[in-house]
Structures are given as structure tokens and as C-alpha cells.
Amino acid sequence: MHIFEFKLRQGETNDLDFGETFKRVARQVQASLPIVGLISRLATPEGGIGSDMQAYPEFCRAVFEAAPPGFQIAVAELQDRYGKPCQRRYVLLVLWMARLGAGVLSGKSIADAARRLRFSFDIEFEMERFEQNVQDIFKKYTYLERPQGTLQQQADLAVDGLARLCLNLPDGQPVPEADEKLIMDAAAGAFWDVPGGREAVQRSMASREQRKDAYAL
């Protein structure tokens, strides 16, 4: 009896191993099929199947796990100074939109979302609006390479979006010297996996005044 029970349990374990292997293979197949991959991504909370757009929760987890300590410290200090708009979830939403939306959507649409978020705190609305707008663009590139912003474009939107969200600054207005490093450390958290990301953020801060009218149209 004991031998039979052991074999049964061993067989159940093998079935589970096979099931997990099957799931991994299925996800790879899904990722190669644009329509099925998209439906599957939308149906799962974590998103991000294959080459699809990285979902906001997935982006947050990646930043939590890999961003340098300076990111957490900067966001905490900004929140102490300027309150609720600087909470980590709102900062991360703006960084996610800057990282994924630059070169795909207009800079104005992302900068405007950062401004709205400062007053509405409606993450769900901004996230759904952003995802829908991006997917509408991507539909036009089903069989073509999708548009993607340069690192500098992403960094510019990260800095300018945080200046709107956290400091409520008009576009092009210099960030106060006392806040410069905090904004840069926070923005650099979006580029934890990109060589030269921090340098791009520094260039964005230095050239911010030149973007006074960048989001006017």
C-alpha cells in the first residue's frame, strides 16, 4: 500500500512538471501570434507576454527589484517635501508612460497625463487611457517594426513629467537647485537596465529650459 501511494504521488509530481513545461511552451507560442498574444496579455494581471508592451504592475516590480537605492530615497524625500503627488505609485506611473510612450505617443499627451495625475490621482484612468492609445498605434504596425523613442526622448519626458507631477512647474522652468538631484534620481529609476540612462537624465535636466514649448502642440 505504501509503495502504491508513493508511486501515485510520484506520478502526480511528474504530471505537474509536465503541466508547467506545457504552460511555458504555450506562452512562447502565444507570444509569436499577435492576436492570441495580445488577448492573453490583456487577460492576465501581470501582462507583458513576449514582445508586448510591459504592463504597469510589471514595470513597478522591475523597478522595486532593480532600481538603485537612490530612487527610493529620492521619492521618499520628494513626498516629504511636496506630499501626495510624489507618492511612489504616481511617480512610477509617469516613469512608465515616459519609458514606453516616448516616440509612440506625442510628448504632450504624456506630459498632460502627468499634470492631470497631480490633481486627480486616478491611476486607473491614466493607465487605461495610455494603454489604449499605445495599442491603437501598435495596431498599425502588426507586420512592421513598432515605433520606439530614443533614450534621450524617454529621459526628457521622465524629467519633465516629474517636474509637472511633483513640483507643478511650467514647462521649461528650471527645477529648483534643492530638488534637482531628487528629480534626477527618481527619473533615473526608470532606466535601471539601460546603459547611459543616468547620463541621459542629467542631459535632460541641463537642457530643460530649451523644452519650454516642447509640449505646446
- Give per-residue pLDDT as tens, 162-181: 999 999 999 999 999 999 99
For residue 105, what are the β-bridge partners? Answer: 102
Helix then strand count (H, E) for the chain reads: 10, 0
Cell of 48: 507583458
* pTM, two decimal places: 0.76
Lowest mean pLDDT among 12-16, 97-101, 103-107, 150-154: 12-16
What is the 8-class DSSP label of residue 216? Answer: -
Q: What is the pLDDT of residue 142?
A: 83
Report d(CA 24, CA 181) in Å as an integer. 42
CB-neighbour burial class of residue 111 (10 A; exposed 0-12, middle 13-18, buried 19+): buried
Average pLDDT of 51-55? Answer: 76
Straight-line distance from the first to the last Cα atom of the chain, in angstroms, rounded to the nearest whole number: 77
Return the number of other C-beta atoms located less than 10 Å from residue 80's C-beta: 9
Concatenated DSSP letters of 182-205 = HHHHHHHGGGTTSTTHHHHHHHHH
- Give per-residue pLDDT as tens, 137-148: 999 988 888 899
Q: Are 51 and 159 in contact (CB under 8 A)?
A: no
Report d(CA 95, CA 79) in Å as an integer. 16
- Give per-residue pLDDT as tens, 97-112: 999 999 999 999 999 9
